[in-house]
Amino acid sequence: MDTMPSPATGSGAGQLPGPLSRQLSGAPAEPLTDDQLRELYSLMVAVRHLDTSAIAWQRQGLIPGYAPELGQEAAQVGSGYAVDTTRDFVFPTYREMGVARAMGVDMVAYMSTHKATWHGGLYNPLESRLAPIQAVVGGSVLHAVGWAHGQTLSGIAGTNTDGTAGVAMTYFGDGASSQGDVHEAMNFAAVMRAPVVFFVQNNGWAISVPTERQVAGGSVAARAAGYGMPALQIDGNDVVAVVEATRRAFAHARAGNGPVLIEAMTYRRGPHSTSDDPGRYRSLNDERDDAGEDPVERFRKRLLADGVADESFFAEALAAAKTEEEHIRAGIQALGPRPGMEMFDLVFQETTPALQAQAASWREESEHV
Amino acid sequence: MDTMPSPATGSGAGQLPGPLSRQLSGAPAEPLTDDQLRELYSLMVAVRHLDTSAIAWQRQGLIPGYAPELGQEAAQVGSGYAVDTTRDFVFPTYREMGVARAMGVDMVAYMSTHKATWHGGLYNPLESRLAPIQAVVGGSVLHAVGWAHGQTLSGIAGTNTDGTAGVAMTYFGDGASSQGDVHEAMNFAAVMRAPVVFFVQNNGWAISVPTERQVAGGSVAARAAGYGMPALQIDGNDVVAVVEATRRAFAHARAGNGPVLIEAMTYRRGPHSTSDDPGRYRSLNDERDDAGEDPVERFRKRLLADGVADESFFAEALAAAKTEEEHIRAGIQALGPRPGMEMFDLVFQETTPALQAQAASWREESEHV
Amino acid sequence: MSNAILESGAAMADRAPRHGVEELSMQQALNLALDEVLAENPKTLVFGEDCGRLGGVFRITDGLQAKYGTGRVFDTPLAESGILGMSAGLAMAGFHPIPEVQFDGFAYPAINQIVCQIARMNYRSRGTMPMPVTLRVPSFGGIRAPEHHGESLEALFAHVPGLKVVSPSNPHEAYHLLKYAATRPDPVIFMEPKSRYWQKGEVTFDSADPAGSAAGGPPTGAKVMREGRHVTLIAWGAMVARCLQVAGLAAEDGIDVEVLDLRWLKPIDAAALAASVRKTRRAVVVHEAPLTSGLGAEVAQLITQSCFDTLKAPVERITGFDVPYPSGDLEDEYIPNIDRILFGIQRVLEYRRG
Amino acid sequence: MSNAILESGAAMADRAPRHGVEELSMQQALNLALDEVLAENPKTLVFGEDCGRLGGVFRITDGLQAKYGTGRVFDTPLAESGILGMSAGLAMAGFHPIPEVQFDGFAYPAINQIVCQIARMNYRSRGTMPMPVTLRVPSFGGIRAPEHHGESLEALFAHVPGLKVVSPSNPHEAYHLLKYAATRPDPVIFMEPKSRYWQKGEVTFDSADPAGSAAGGPPTGAKVMREGRHVTLIAWGAMVARCLQVAGLAAEDGIDVEVLDLRWLKPIDAAALAASVRKTRRAVVVHEAPLTSGLGAEVAQLITQSCFDTLKAPVERITGFDVPYPSGDLEDEYIPNIDRILFGIQRVLEYRRG
Ligand SMILES: Cc1ncc(C[n+]2csc(CCOP(=O)(O)OP(=O)(O)O)c2C)c(N)n1
Ligand SMILES: Cc1ncc(C[n+]2csc(CCOP(=O)(O)OP(=O)(O)O)c2C)c(N)n1
Ligand SMILES: [Mg+2]
Ligand SMILES: [Mg+2]
């Protein structure tokens, strides 16, 4: 287990027992500037505010469902912040709103998936550098490996030694780590030395199943050694630790050293989704005991203690978050359903006569215009 | 990595770097008696002779194809020898002829699969304690976990504390270790502490792909630590080391300590199957360099050196092997095709009208009686 | 298998056999069926993702872990191939596993174990290792769920030799078909129409109930849900209720629609199809799955084979389109709606040779 | 993508476009098609288990790694879901992957990636992330292979929205269809009839060759392989050759059989089916896959829909049985044989209404 060199390393870092078979290469990145620290805080507050608002939207009937990321703001904002959107590519699950926000994705287009406007969301993945929202647990982990190997192949030809080759980062959970695809992805990536960062948010739960009945051995990071791949198990509630670990992992992968796994230890403070009832499988006491300190509040205290930000800055950040949320809510409210013809038009690049015939009969029988 | 306590441990044992997260429990088993050593040798010679004969059978047109286990006699006979067929259950792949023989399976019924008489073979799996031959790489590894968990469930109710609960042993190769199912099986087994022995024959090749381009990190045994599961990487060409490791693993699992992984390092000395042409992907020089000493010859020398057996014993063993092979060949030669009605009758326990109708029309149109 | 579990199971059979009629939702009916099956057969095991403490995301296994313990009813790690592969192994050890995959779309990771292992083990082992696995799959669309939560896999399953496939259309069917499926020695894919989980209906408990099947025996074969003379609507799962609605509307126009609940999607009750369409001489088959290579083609062809001379029009198929299952409001455009089914009826009624 | 690969690709195009006719086996024709596709499009990649150094267990990729390097043609670890999942990611990065699964039966572990990812990514991403993945699957039976080496998955694939499916019946078709499939922007499942790999046949290279399709354009749609007036046999893959044999035998009895090679199993050329059967008024569809919910049902229903008035008999289906693909000599009992197809023809010819 590699320990984090950053002074910002939280209590969760360096826990994993046993030596790594291969160490992460490269020096620690530059420390974050005060401006960056404040930016991170603003992002976390924006994400927290949008996240809690989205639950309210669902209660109010504006959206049919939502998967909150309450408690995972540090893990998501910190890792998303480390992405270089000019060259890297990110593969999310269904819970990475904070990553999308940190990457600068259009949030109306992102949140539209929760309005059930379009599976995958309305944002352009190529421009956003964020693959469509993925509902299959573990479904996109292999895509990251393929995309990353594509970078290697482009590099092989000799034109990408200029460092423009990107790194793929794939997100998945403690539950997803049980899927066969995740193993295949790690093995492929390590065999091919593909530039991939496997970013695991171990939030303690897969719906109702706690990590100890999910992850044999107790740690996803501990799996990496078996593939000869370096891993970092970090305090996922310490946003600075997350940024620094992610940057190191990116640097390692970008330099051609192959994949890295980061296990960010965090806690799903909310329900699995708006249709879940956590009271059936964990008590409020459990939640209080296991969740640890709120990552947003913790970062706020630290900025205050370090003199990086003051109350007026925090108030501004919150006000900005509110304005942003209102804007996004308005966008979501204004979103109408997609035209039915998109069902047919977006199946293929080259449509087929059978599909055209079905579209024609749909128009005739069902189009309510 | 746990090292083997047996004096018989070969050079391949104890190679795996890094500590085990959990050690194998239990004292080393009793050393093998001279009678047992001679029995093991006889088994190895019988297996070697049948194996090489089967290739000849294929060349002569007696059977359409065969997957030789040349070079894996020690791994197969040694592990199969450790099985207690009154309570354990074994899940083979398509290459475990030596295991079947060591377990005392009817070899005509076993070899019938290579005559294409019936997929899975004609032996009764329940009586033989050997699941049907499995053609899906990694396909039966999860079955072992389910079967083993069934033992635990039976034990839970309190009647199996008498030690009659069995252990499941599943065989797979270095190639199979890449399959998602194998990961899911290890994780399930370790989470449920199921009494399973994962017996990996790392024979260096998956058809044309060498282990180094298959198994990231280089060792399947190294994966076990990530599941909190003990592993033994052993010299799979040392039959005594194999017996002892397998016995220890069985004892560990039987005592309720959960699964164990054994990686037996060996070498596929022959082609992948009778339709393979290894000359396309490895040279004879490679084979000579990588295969190491022939496990049968090596054991013969050792028995001779230790005074456990002499030339007349070896001659007898070979003669017995020849008689046995003739007997099996005669049985295989005598095997006619299965009656076509079995196609229909064996699909379900409770047949269906549709299937009966199809059987009737088959009888009418195709039965050549 | 140890008979200690047998005894502990017997101890659980704390309720007398039910009689009469009760109003239950399909969720309640399925839960009750599982409860009784667990009580009656100690070899049965119920498991899957979130099936234990949570009682399943649809609460179908609610309360069962508390009642039968964590040995009989349990959560698994999140891996569908693992769940089905483990089921095969448990069946080899003499158990009757009743696994769940959480949603239809998450059966795909388990297809290899279902098709190559569970469906074939009886055959491969020459009948010595049967696979009494009852796989529950919350199925079909209509609940505005995320992607992969509205799939219809019946055509895939029905094509696989060695599998039987069944889908209940209401609480009564759900109770009886699940109890029946979970006592069979062969693998059964049990497709639950998730959009109907919360709909209530009468469940008749008398085991001699003739509603269980046309002949009063076990609930095998198809079932006429409404008799009619002009056209037969054939459906399964959630589409049965919709077809009954359509039949009611058509009756207002003097069109007398027979509605056949196919129930068993493998084996298909070809005799019931023939009997109905020989009478009505027109048929419309309705399903949510995409058109091409859907089970509607098989149903239509079975009808055409048996009723070629009496059919007045080619069998109509009203189905989902050949498009990935869509999100949100587009569901209503995709799933056969009342209008589309009525158009189909109209086409078979107005068909003129020539 | 880097254009260095583009250049290195271009450098490989060391042969002038072929003209005229050559006698090739299907294995040679497929190998040639891949060779040309690799030369012509630097974004294409060929990979799978044993595809590199060994050239594939059927030698379809023979010599390609030596020619195009280990970057363009490579072995993967032994994991089919990994192969297809990686293909999706490579496609997202702008490549055109041409993966292989070693045998039909080993496509099952990859079904989740094929159905939920590759088939839907274009839709999910609203057309921004097309999936030009050409998946080669050595398919169908007839070679006395071990279990899971003789499967017919076309009904499964054809049912999946977002996939296209094609199967060549001879070396000419193999060459042209693979070259066509591997230049499409959509995912195509390319089902190679492995029992025909070593059969030789004439391949016509002139790109203006009208044999490529009825209309002289790209090889889309079905293709009449033999004209006839009395009955249409519809088949694909290895069954086309068998149907042509049957047609020859039937001709001796004065029965004039038309043989239609369906070629594309999705989308199905409904117009060609209608045109042929409107003429012959009788049809028999032949496939190796099990009967129930097989693609034969779809073909039969499409014919019935379009030719209801002219059909003289219900469409016959001569198929594999609803049993797991059997071993050894039982293969000959399972796969439609000449007798069974002739019986089918007889039934449609002798059918009398009444
Ligand atoms: C293949 C698959 N199986 C099951 C599900 C249903 N499901 C959705 S989320 C979830 C739990 C995921 O847990 P984890 O990977 O830890 O991610 P988290 O929800 O905690 O972010 C399950 C079982 C699914 N979406 N995909
Ligand atoms: C799921 C699956 N994929 C592919 C194959 C084809 N295949 C048969 S054996 C084999 C290599 C297996 O290698 P390994 O697991 O090392 O076992 P070994 O053959 O060396 O005993 C392959 C690719 C298969 N049988 N099953
Ligand atoms: Mg989680
Ligand atoms: Mg091997």
Can you tell me which atom of ligand 1 is nearest the CA of C49?
23
Residues C343 and C236 in one domain: yes
**A329 Cβ contact list (under 8 Å, min separation 6):** A53, A57, A62
| pLDDT reported for residue D206 | 74
Ligand closest to CA C56: 1
What are the angstrom distances between the C-alpha of A325 and each of A107, A113, B23, D323? Answer: 9, 16, 54, 58
Give chain C positions within 8 Å (CB) of A366: 333, 337, 339-340
| pLDDT reported for residue A15 | 37
| pLDDT reported for residue C12 | 40
| pLDDT reported for residue A24 | 73
Residues C99 and C233 in one domain: no
In a domain, C88, yes or no: yes
**pLDDT under 70: residue ranges of chain B:** 1-23, 25-29, 156-164, 368-369
> Quick check: A187 and D32 in contact, CB under 8 A?
no
Tens of pLDDT, residues C223-232: 999 999 999 9
| pLDDT reported for residue C6 | 32
> Cα of A275 to ligand 2 centre, how many Å?
43
Please judge whether D324 and C161 are an interchain contact, meaning their C-beta atoms are less than 8 angstroms apart.
Answer: yes
| pLDDT reported for residue A3 | 32
Residue A5 in this model has a pLDDT that exceeds 80: no
| pLDDT reported for residue D166 | 98
> Quick check: C233 and C281 in contact, CB under 8 A?
no
- CA dist A157 and C162 (Å) reads 50
Residue carrying the six token digits 């509605």: C259
| pLDDT reported for residue B25 | 65
In a domain, D215, yes or no: no
Domain ranges of chain B: 13-338, 339-369
Give chain B positions within 8 Å (CB) of C125: 120, 125, 131-132
- CA dist C206 and C229 (Å) reads 30
What are the angstrom distances between the C-alpha of C278 and each of C232, C348, D300? Answer: 10, 14, 20
Give chain D positions within 8 Å (CB) of A188: 76-77, 79, 82, 86
Chain C touched by A218 (CB under 8 Å): no
- CA dist D71 and D88 (Å) reads 17
DSSP structural state of residue B177? G
Residues D237 and D163 in one domain: no
Strand order across the beta sheet in which C257-261 lies? C223-226, C257-261, C231-235, C283-290, C316-320
Task: Report residues near ion ligand 3: CB below 5 Å.
Answer: A 173-175, 203, 206
Nearest-CA distance C316 → chain A (Å): 13
Which of C115, C158, C298 has its CB closest to that of D108? Answer: C115
**How many residues in chain B?**
369
Nearest-CA distance B249 → chain C (Å): 20
Which residue is closest in CA terms to ligand 1's atom 13?
A206
Encoded tokens for B68: 């030789």
Residue type, position B346, single letter: L
Which residue is closest in CA terms to ligand 2's atom 12?
B206
Chain B touched by D340 (CB under 8 Å): yes
Closest CA to D159 of C303, C322, C268, A184: C322
- CA dist B280 and B277 (Å) reads 6
Encoded tokens for B112: 């019938």
Q: State the pLDDT confidence band at D15, using cuts at 50, 70 and 90.
A: low
Query: Which whole number is the average pLDDT over A87-111?
Result: 98
| pLDDT reported for residue B5 | 32
Give chain C positions within 8 Å (CB) of B145: 82, 85-86, 89
- CA dist D282 and D213 (Å) reads 24
Please judge whether A191 and D77 are an interchain contact, meaning their C-beta atoms are less than 8 angstroms apart.
Answer: yes
- CA dist D144 and D150 (Å) reads 8
- CA dist C73 and C99 (Å) reads 10
Residues C152 and C282 in one domain: no
- CA dist C270 and C230 (Å) reads 19
Dihedral (CA of D221, D226, D227, D229) sign: negative
In a domain, C241, yes or no: yes
Chain C touched by A136 (CB under 8 Å): yes
Give the H or E element holding residue C189: strand C188-193
Print burial letters for C60-71: b (CB count within 10 Å at least 16), e (below 16): bbbebbeebbeb
Range of the domain at C198: 2-204
Residues D13 and D149 in one domain: yes
Q: Which of residues 59-118 of C touch D (CB under 8 A)?
A: 81, 105, 108-109, 111-112, 115-116
DSSP structural state of residue B130? B
Please judge whether B132 and C116 are an interchain contact, meaning their C-beta atoms are less than 8 angstroms apart.
Answer: no
Closest CA to A143 of B338, D3, D91: D91
> pTM surpassing 0.90?
yes
Tens of pLDDT, residues A299-348: 999 999 999 999 999 999 999 999 999 999 999 999 999 999 999 999 99
Query: Which whole number is the average pLDDT over C10-34?
Result: 80
**B3 Cβ contact list (under 8 Å, min separation 6):** B9, B13, B14
DSSP structural state of residue C118? I
Which of D120, D159, D296 has its CB closest to that of C294? Answer: D159
The strand pair at A260-265 and A196-202 is best described as parallel
Dihedral (CA of A251, A254, A257, A263) sign: positive
Please judge whether B184 and A179 are an interchain contact, meaning their C-beta atoms are less than 8 angstroms apart.
Answer: yes
In a domain, D216, yes or no: no
Residues D188 and D99 in one domain: yes
Q: Which CATH number do you get for residue C262?
A: 3.40.50.920
Please judge whether B136 and C112 are an interchain contact, meaning their C-beta atoms are less than 8 angstroms apart.
Answer: yes
User: Taking the mean position of all CA atoms in its chain, how far away is CA C154?
Assistant: 9
Interface with chain C: mutation pick from A112, A358, A367, highest number of C CBs within 10 Å: A358
> Quick check: B47 and B77 in contact, CB under 8 A?
yes
Q: At what angle do helices C26-40 and C3-12 cross, to 10 degrees?
A: 130
Chain C touched by B149 (CB under 8 Å): yes
Q: Is residue B227 among the annotated active site residues? A: no
Which residues line the pocket of ligand 1, CB cutoff 6 A? A 95, 135-137, 172-176, 203, 205-207, 268, 272; C 49, 78, 102, 106, 109
In a domain, C217, yes or no: no
Closest CA to D142 of D239, D216, D219, D65: D239
| pLDDT reported for residue C207 | 59
The subunits that touch chain B, with at least 3 C-beta pairs less than 8 Å apart, are A, C, D
| pLDDT reported for residue B30 | 83
Chain A touched by C105 (CB under 8 Å): yes
State the complex-level ipTM: 0.95
Residue C11 in this model has a pLDDT that exceeds 70: no
Spelled out in words, what is the top-level CATH class assigned to the domain B13-338?
A: alpha beta
In a domain, C212, yes or no: no
Q: At what angle do helices C171-181 and C26-40 cross, to 10 degrees?
A: 20
Residue D59 in this model has a pLDDT that exceeds 80: yes
Which residues line the pocket of ligand 2, CB cutoff 6 A? B 95, 135-137, 172-176, 203, 205-207, 268, 272; D 49, 78, 102, 106, 109
Chain C touched by D148 (CB under 8 Å): yes
Q: State the pLDDT confidence band at A27, using cuts at 50, 70 and 90.
A: low
In a domain, C346, yes or no: yes
| pLDDT reported for residue D17 | 63
**How many residues in chain C?**
354
Residues D340 and D271 in one domain: yes
Please judge whether D323 and B344 are an interchain contact, meaning their C-beta atoms are less than 8 angstroms apart.
Answer: yes
- CA dist A142 and A180 (Å) reads 11
Which of A182, A190, A219 has its CB closest to that of B216? Answer: A190
DSSP structural state of residue B123? S
Closest CA to B253 of B201, B197, B200: B197
Give chain D positions within 8 Å (CB) of C308: 313-314, 351, 353
Which of D124, D266, D270 has its CB closest to that of A132? Answer: D124
Q: Which CATH number do you get for residue C147?
A: 3.40.50.970
Residue C81 in this model has a pLDDT that exceeds 50: yes
Residues C252 and C147 in one domain: no
| pLDDT reported for residue C354 | 77
Q: Greatest CA span in chain C, whole angstroms?
A: 71
> Quick check: C322 and C290 in contact, CB under 8 A?
yes
Catalytic residues of D: 149
Residue C9 in this model has a pLDDT that exceeds 70: no
- CA dist D334 and D342 (Å) reads 16
**C2 Cβ contact list (under 8 Å, min separation 6):** B154, B155, B157, B158, B159, B160
Give chain D positions within 8 Å (CB) of C296: 301
DSSP structural state of residue D17? P
Of the listed A101, A248, A268, A329, which one is catalytic? A268
Q: How many CB atoms lie within 10 A of CB A369?
A: 5
- CA dist C333 and C331 (Å) reads 5
Residues C256 and C127 in one domain: no
Give chain D positions within 8 Å (CB) of C315: 301, 304
The CA-based angle C143-C146-C147, given to 5 degrees, is 115
The torsion region of residue C3 among left (phi > 0), alpha (psi -120 to 50) and beta comes to: alpha
Residue ranges of the alpha helices (H) in B205-310?
221-224, 239-252, 284-291, 295-305
In a domain, D217, yes or no: no
- CA dist A74 and A44 (Å) reads 7
Interface with chain B: mutation pick from A183, A223, A261, highest number of B CBs within 10 Å: A183
Residues D336 and D238 in one domain: yes
Which of C5, C123, C184 has its CB closest to that of B154? Answer: C5
Q: Which of A91, A207, A269 to mutate to test the pocket of ligand 1 (most atoms within 8 A of CB)?
A: A207
| pLDDT reported for residue A366 | 84
DSSP structural state of residue D100? B
Residues D230 and D192 in one domain: no
Q: How many domains does chain D have?
A: 2
The subunits that touch chain D, with at least 3 C-beta pairs less than 8 Å apart, are A, B, C
- CA dist A120 and D125 (Å) reads 7
- CA dist A183 and A202 (Å) reads 16
Q: Which of residues 64-93 of D touch B (CB under 8 A)?
A: 75, 77-79, 81-82
Residues D42 and D187 in one domain: yes
Which residue is closest in CA terms to ligand 2's atom 17?
B173
**C16 Cβ contact list (under 8 Å, min separation 6):** none
Peptide bond into D161 cis (omega under 30): no
Print burial letters for B292-318: b (CB count within 10 Å at least 16), e (below 16): bebbbebbbebbeeeebbeeebbeebe
| pLDDT reported for residue C161 | 98
| pLDDT reported for residue A17 | 34
For chain A, the three-class secondary structure string (H helix, E strand, C coil) is: CCCCCCCCCCCCCCCCCCCCCCCCCCCCCCCCCHHHHHHHHHHHHHHHHHHHHHHHHHHCCCCCCCCCCCCCHHHHHHHHHCCCCCCCEEECCCCCHHHHHHHCCCHHHHHHHHHCCCCCCCCCHHHHCECCCCCCCCCCHHHHHHHHHHHHHHHHHHHCCCCCCCCEEEEEECCHHHCHHHHHHHHHHHHHCCCEEEEEEECCEECCEEHHHCCCCCCCHHHHHHHCCCEEEEECCCHHHHHHHHHHHHHHHHHHHCCEEEEEECCCCCCCCCCCCHHHCCCHHHHHHHHCCCHHHHHHHHHHHCCCCCHHHHHHHHHHHHHHHHHHHHHHHHCCCCCCHHHHHCCCCCCCHHHHHHHHHHHHHHCCC
Last residue within a domain, chosen from D148, D170, D204: D204
Give chain A positions within 8 Å (CB) of D116: 136, 139
